[in-house]
Chains A and B, each alone.
Chain A
Amino acid sequence: MAAKKLSLKDKYSLLTRDLDWEFSYQDRKAAFPFEEFEGIKITDWSKWEDPFRLTMDAYWKYQSEKEKKLYAIFDAFAQNNGQLNVSDPRYVNAIKLFLTGISPQEYQAHQGFAHIGRQYGGVGARVACQMQSLDELRHVQTQVHAMSHYNKFFDGFQNWSHMQDRVWYLSVPTSFFHDARSAGPFEFLVAIGFSFEYVLTNLLFVPFMSGAAYNGDMATVTFGFSAQSDEARHMTLGLEVIKFLLEQHEDNVPIVQKWIDKWFWRGTRLLSLVGMMMDYMLPNKVMSWKEAWEVYFEEAGGALFKDLARYGITMPKYAELIDKEKEHVSHQTWWTFYTHGHAAGFHTWIPTDEEMDWLSEKYPDTFDKYYRPRWELARKLEAEGKRFYTKALPQLCTTCQIPMLFTEMSDPTQISYRDTVYKGERYHFCSDGCCDIFKDEPEKFVQSWLPVHQIFQGNCGGPGVEQVLGEYYKMNLGADNLDIKGSPDEKRWKQWKGVA
């Protein structure tokens, strides 16, 4: 008897979809207890469409090929001292921020997907989440391995594990993922699988990694693109989940829209760090943050939301505000780090003349008007030996935890402040977006571990900022922080390159 040939779809479905069963001896809801509390209605998990139909044997086969290629490049990079080929030692600071700020979040994504990969009642969606959990573990581990060689030659990498739970600016990405992981299983997927992966991670991985290539960093571009090849699967999972939820029940539509609004706003706030990495921290520049935003959000995200309109989903709330902010956020964020350069675990600097000209060209409506004068003043002060540091601890937004650095778009010289009172306490925010998010879930956000509050309360050592940075954060003061100019990183680089 000749066996009939199975299509990929039928084969996957036979191998995977019928593994689960209706319980007879226990309450199935006790095995999958978290599916209902968010108000999402799933009427039929079998309607789930598997986008990639990847069986485990194929997963092992293709992923091991990716890993083989990747580690061959890591080995070659280390053996040939590839760090000497980067464009400029300033570049390395962008990847310090990557390892300390982003890699731990890959781990949280791994944990979050393991949670929903255990909890979803439908086997198709569950298995896709499990694979994503495994991929996310891959990402944190390949990133640590890529940075391992840099850690041997540059400061600022060595304490990433300790810093992830403590450092003030790292609480921005950390709290973002804590927020998603502490949410219900469907909000988590809308937050990370859809809003973050589909709408926003391209901005992180694609233009930034292309920038890494352009700055001679073969290790980073290789893990970046190799990770991104998993991301294509993740993005598709994110989109399939949204479509599935919207098709399951019309009552899901407003819930999903609310989550999209929340997570789009949370995500854009988080990405202000990436904006600064692209515009200021890459010495050789591929595209500006604004251009990347236009290609990967306005064009790609616009197409996506047009496609979702048939379900009644609209563009995320405040998208029109972000359209204006793209002209400003990278400058405002880097300025904040420059003025708090003593408290950062990486080096900061003033952009060169050439770089300022590039910024003028890329931001014709804003850079010369609002930001160039600041940098010229900073340069003048530095030349006079009066390098300026903001000594006061900044006030943080209760939701996104970023210092109050964003301005009103109606007047870009005016810092934007919002506040609200909950149970007799006043809470402060950087924007209407963050204030709305708080008001919708105040019991969650009153719990925020705000680094500046914690320092004032004496929970991070002290009494002075120096002790907090040195003892509680374990930064090597004088090596990890301050300007690149005069840093041990710069001194070593000059030695290697044989320049005075």
Chain B
Amino acid sequence: MTIEIKTSTLEPVRNTFAHIEQRFGDKPATRYQEATYDVQAETNFHYRPYWDPEHELNDPSRTALVMSDWYAFKDPRQFYYGTYVQQRAKMQEVAESNYAFFDKRNLVASLSDEVRAEVVRYLVPLRHVEHTANLNNMYGTAYGYGTAITQALLFNGMDRLGIAQYLSRIGLMLDGNSGDALKQAKALWMDEPVWQGMRALCEETLVTQDWFELFLAQDLVIDTLIGELFYNQLDQKLTAKGGQDIAMLTEFMQEWSKDTTRWVDAVTKTAAAESDANRTLMAGWIESWRGKAAEALAPLAEEMLGGSHKGDALSEALAVLDKRVAKAGIQ
């Protein structure tokens, strides 16, 4: 009897925080909602930053894109910190067991010299591209607006550091932990003509000022093309040459790409649907970076896939990109 009385008086006085109730109604909220919406401060900033006196500390005008509500960028994965690290922990557990299996069975010995050379020449240098992607996503985290998109950019940035480290481990597997493969790959990245377009492109993204433009350049344009050329087409080529075990080491990147594509597409679509002005702006950015990226990747695609791939590798990758862009409602 006493227990019944107690529970009947233990009715909550409210279901969630006021700003969450205002957005989603008076009902219990999800953890994603409470961790995300309206978390970032919006007004009454005390001091202008020494490093950017033209703007407030948090300022929506650091991009030319305009949104009436920056929290429209809902993450379809609903990642907040806790769900993010738990999802990645699951993926890293699989990756760890793949890498351990590869190591234990000495699968590196089964790779032909040709496959090894291709991995060092084409796959390992991507660690520098991933490192660039890490910085570019951190850029959006730091200068973007609204927790919904900035937290997802941070997660992406940290993913890219993780991927750079996985790619480095592939190098270490090939060189018996001497680091020689990493040195060779870095030398290629620095001096080999076939990589210079890509390096110049990465350097250009790192001096790009508009964070949303940079998001489109990196996470939509460059990542789609890299994913297609390296993790799809190169992977097929290596498999055809008896290097199928390498796929165990890139499984993380492929899984990651599926997950991240969903988020990038949602953001792109939402931004474009906001206004004609946004759509026009985005179309211009995408076209410009598509052109630069295609030019940078052309010699790599040609050398890496020209002989083996039926059809034109780069055109196919660009078609995948164009399809994603069209699906987001941008012509």
Contact = CB atoms under 8 A, between A and B. Distances in A.
Interface of A: 1-6, 11, 14-16, 18-27, 30-31, 33-34, 37, 55-57, 59-61, 63-65, 67-68, 70-71, 81, 84, 104, 107-108, 110-111, 114-115, 117-118, 123, 127, 130-131, 133-134, 137-138, 140-142, 144-145, 148, 151-155, 157-162, 164-166, 171, 174-175, 178-179, 181-185, 444-445, 447-449, 454, 474, 488, 492, 495-496, 498
Given A34-B51, A63-B85, A108-B41, 12 more contacts: A27-B207, A57-B165, A60-B89, A64-B86, A67-B82, A118-B142, A131-B158, A141-B39, A161-B38, A178-B46, A182-B49, A444-B47
A350 to B, nearest CB: 26
B157 A24 contact: no
A194 B111 CA distance: 49
Nearest to B159: A56
Majority secondary structure, B binding face = helix
Interface of B: 2, 5-6, 9-10, 12-19, 29, 31, 34-35, 38-51, 57-58, 80-82, 85-86, 88-89, 91-93, 95-96, 103, 109, 127-128, 130-131, 134-135, 138-139, 141-143, 147, 150-151, 154, 157-159, 161-162, 164-166, 168-169, 172-173, 176-179, 182, 186, 189-190, 196, 199-200, 203-204, 206-207
Given A25-B200, A141-B35, A447-B48, A158 B190 contact: no
Contacts, number: 258
A133 B155 CA distance: 10
A2 B177 CA distance: 9
Interface centre among A31, A55, A114, A115 (most CB of B within 10 A): A114
Contacts of A161: 17-19, 38-39
B182 A67 contact: no
Contacts of A37: 50-51
B131 to A, nearest CB: 4
Contact of A152 (B15, B150, B172): B15
Given A56-B165, A64-B88, A4 B176 contact: yes
Nearest to A187: B50
15 contacts: A14-B172, A57-B166, A64-B86, A67-B86, A71-B82, A107-B39, A118-B141, A130-B158, A158-B14, A159-B19, A164-B41, A179-B46, A181-B49, A447-B47, A449-B46
Contacts of A34: 51
Contacts of A182: 46-51, 57
A182 B53 CA distance: 9
Interface centre among A115, A133, A140, A155 (most CB of B within 10 A): A115
Contact of A57 (B15, B46, B92, B109): B92
Contacts of A114: 138, 141-142, 150, 154
B137 to A, nearest CB: 9
A118 B139 contact: yes
Contact of A19 (B15, B18, B86, B128): B128
Contact of A6 (B12, B14, B15, B172): B172
Nearest to B136: A118
Contacts of A25: 199-200, 203-204
A37 B86 CA distance: 40
Contacts of A138: 81-82
Contact of A26 (B16, B143, B165, B207): B207
B81 A142 contact: yes
Contacts of B57: 111, 178, 181-182
B189 A21 contact: yes
Contact of B14 (A84, A115, A117, A152): A152
Given A3-B176, A31-B203, A134-B81, A448 B47 contact: yes
A182 B58 CA distance: 10
Interface centre among B46, B49, B189 (most CB of A within 10 A): B46
Nearest to B252: A57
A157 B34 CA distance: 13
Contacts of A155: 13
A64 B85 contact: yes
Nearest to B86: A64
Contacts of A5: 177
A148 B280 CA distance: 41
Nearest to A448: B46
A406 B135 CA distance: 45
Nearest to A25: B200
B168 A107 contact: no
Given A25-B200, A133-B141, A495-B9, A141 B80 contact: yes
A474 B138 CA distance: 34
A18 B182 contact: yes
A123 B160 CA distance: 14
A33 B208 CA distance: 12
B46 A145 contact: no
A165 B34 contact: no
A130 B164 CA distance: 15
A161 B16 CA distance: 12
Contacts of A22: 190
B146 to A, nearest CB: 12
B141 A18 contact: no
Interface centre among A33, A104, A159, A161 (most CB of B within 10 A): A161
A431 B45 CA distance: 24
A37 B52 CA distance: 12
Given A24-B203, A34-B51, A151 B41 contact: no
B103 A3 contact: yes
Contact of B135 (A108, A118, A164): A118
A2 B178 CA distance: 11
B215 to A, nearest CB: 14
Interface centre among B81, B91, B150 (most CB of A within 10 A): B81
Interface centre among B135, B190, B196, B204 (most CB of A within 10 A): B135
Contacts of B80: 141
A432 to B, nearest CB: 22
A31 B206 contact: yes
Contacts of B50: 37, 182-184, 444
Contacts of A183: 50
Nearest to A16: B165
A126 to B, nearest CB: 8
Contact of B128 (A21, A110, A130, A134): A21
A133 B154 contact: yes
Contact of A178 (B34, B45, B158): B45
Contacts of A498: 2, 5-6
Nearest to A55: B165
